[in-house]
A = this chain, B = another copy of it.
Amino acid sequence: MNQHLKGSLSTIILKLLHDNGRMYGYEITQKVKELTQDDIQITEGALYPILHKLEAEEVLTAELEKVDGRTRKYYKITPKGNAVAVDRIAELKAFAENLNLILNPKLSLS
Protein backbone atom coordinates (compact mmCIF):
# COMPACT_ATOMS: atom_id res chain seq x y z
CA MET A 1 0.00 0.00 0.00
CA ASN A 2 1.04 3.53 -0.62
CA GLN A 3 2.26 4.88 2.73
CA HIS A 4 0.40 8.13 2.22
CA LEU A 5 -2.87 6.25 2.20
CA LYS A 6 -2.59 5.62 5.91
CA GLY A 7 -5.47 7.33 7.64
CA SER A 8 -7.45 7.94 4.47
CA LEU A 9 -8.32 4.35 3.72
CA SER A 10 -11.51 4.08 5.73
CA THR A 11 -12.85 7.26 4.19
CA ILE A 12 -12.05 6.03 0.70
CA ILE A 13 -14.07 2.92 1.46
CA LEU A 14 -16.96 5.06 2.65
CA LYS A 15 -16.74 7.16 -0.50
CA LEU A 16 -16.94 4.12 -2.77
CA LEU A 17 -19.89 2.72 -0.86
CA HIS A 18 -21.55 6.11 -0.93
CA ASP A 19 -21.15 6.30 -4.72
CA ASN A 20 -21.93 2.69 -5.53
CA GLY A 21 -24.52 1.82 -2.92
CA ARG A 22 -23.50 -1.76 -2.27
CA MET A 23 -20.13 -3.44 -2.61
CA TYR A 24 -18.21 -6.40 -1.26
CA GLY A 25 -14.65 -6.31 0.02
CA TYR A 26 -12.82 -7.73 -2.94
CA GLU A 27 -14.83 -5.49 -5.25
CA ILE A 28 -13.65 -2.46 -3.28
CA THR A 29 -10.01 -3.42 -3.77
CA GLN A 30 -10.54 -3.82 -7.50
CA LYS A 31 -12.43 -0.56 -7.82
CA VAL A 32 -9.62 1.36 -6.13
CA LYS A 33 -7.07 -0.33 -8.38
CA GLU A 34 -9.13 0.60 -11.43
CA LEU A 35 -9.75 4.21 -10.42
CA THR A 36 -6.08 4.79 -9.63
CA GLN A 37 -4.69 2.78 -12.55
CA ASP A 38 -3.08 0.17 -10.30
CA ASP A 39 -1.42 2.84 -8.18
CA ILE A 40 -3.26 1.99 -4.98
CA GLN A 41 -3.60 -1.61 -3.95
CA ILE A 42 -5.53 -2.12 -0.76
CA THR A 43 -4.23 -5.05 1.27
CA GLU A 44 -6.71 -7.46 2.78
CA GLY A 45 -5.12 -7.10 6.20
CA ALA A 46 -6.04 -3.43 6.12
CA LEU A 47 -9.40 -3.75 4.39
CA TYR A 48 -11.28 -6.33 6.39
CA PRO A 49 -10.57 -4.97 9.86
CA ILE A 50 -11.82 -1.56 8.68
CA LEU A 51 -15.02 -3.07 7.30
CA HIS A 52 -15.57 -4.95 10.56
CA LYS A 53 -14.98 -1.84 12.60
CA LEU A 54 -17.39 0.26 10.54
CA GLU A 55 -19.94 -2.51 10.85
CA ALA A 56 -19.47 -2.62 14.64
CA GLU A 57 -19.99 1.15 14.70
CA GLU A 58 -23.20 0.67 12.73
CA VAL A 59 -21.95 2.85 9.92
CA LEU A 60 -22.22 -0.16 7.62
CA THR A 61 -24.39 -3.25 7.48
CA ALA A 62 -23.47 -6.47 5.75
CA GLU A 63 -25.29 -9.26 3.97
CA LEU A 64 -23.81 -12.54 2.84
CA GLU A 65 -24.61 -13.61 -0.67
CA LYS A 66 -23.50 -16.65 -2.60
CA VAL A 67 -22.53 -15.95 -6.19
CA ASP A 68 -21.11 -18.60 -8.52
CA GLY A 69 -20.26 -20.85 -5.60
CA ARG A 70 -18.37 -18.17 -3.66
CA THR A 71 -19.62 -16.23 -0.71
CA ARG A 72 -19.49 -12.47 -0.93
CA LYS A 73 -20.13 -10.12 1.94
CA TYR A 74 -21.95 -7.08 0.64
CA TYR A 75 -21.73 -3.86 2.61
CA LYS A 76 -23.80 -0.72 2.45
CA ILE A 77 -24.00 2.46 4.46
CA THR A 78 -26.75 2.55 7.09
CA PRO A 79 -29.14 5.53 7.29
CA LYS A 80 -27.55 6.32 10.64
CA GLY A 81 -24.07 5.95 9.15
CA ASN A 82 -24.79 8.23 6.25
CA ALA A 83 -24.10 11.39 8.23
CA VAL A 84 -20.76 10.01 9.36
CA ALA A 85 -19.88 9.05 5.80
CA VAL A 86 -20.81 12.45 4.40
CA ASP A 87 -18.75 14.20 7.08
CA ARG A 88 -15.68 12.10 6.57
CA ILE A 89 -15.86 12.41 2.80
CA ALA A 90 -16.07 16.21 3.14
CA GLU A 91 -13.03 16.12 5.42
CA LEU A 92 -11.13 14.02 2.92
CA LYS A 93 -11.99 16.49 0.16
CA ALA A 94 -10.73 19.33 2.33
CA PHE A 95 -7.59 17.34 3.00
CA ALA A 96 -7.02 16.76 -0.71
CA GLU A 97 -7.36 20.49 -1.28
CA ASN A 98 -4.94 21.22 1.53
CA LEU A 99 -2.48 18.80 -0.01
CA ASN A 100 -2.72 20.72 -3.26
CA LEU A 101 -2.10 23.98 -1.41
CA ILE A 102 1.02 22.53 0.19
CA LEU A 103 2.28 20.79 -2.93
CA ASN A 104 1.60 23.69 -5.26
CA PRO A 105 2.00 26.81 -3.16
CA LYS A 106 0.92 29.97 -4.90
CA LEU A 107 3.73 32.12 -6.14
CA SER A 108 3.91 35.37 -4.24
CA LEU A 109 2.86 38.08 -6.67
CA SER A 110 5.20 40.77 -5.47
The residues of A with any CB-CB pair to B shorter than 8 Å are: 2-8, 11-12, 15-16, 19, 32, 35-36, 39-40, 89, 91-96, 98-103, 105
Could you say which residues of chain B place their CB within 8 Å of the CB of A36? Answer: 98, 101-102
Say yes or no: A103 contacts B99, CB within 8 Å.
Answer: no
- Cα–Cα, bound, A13→B98 (Å): 14
Say yes or no: B8 contacts A4, CB within 8 Å.
Answer: yes
> Whole-angstrom distance from the CB of A51 to the nearest CB of chain B?
17
Besides the known contacts A6-B8, A35-B98, A93-B103, 9 further A-B residue pairs in the complex with CB atoms under 8 A apart: A4-B95, A5-B7, A6-B7, A8-B99, A15-B102, A16-B102, A35-B102, A35-B105, A39-B94
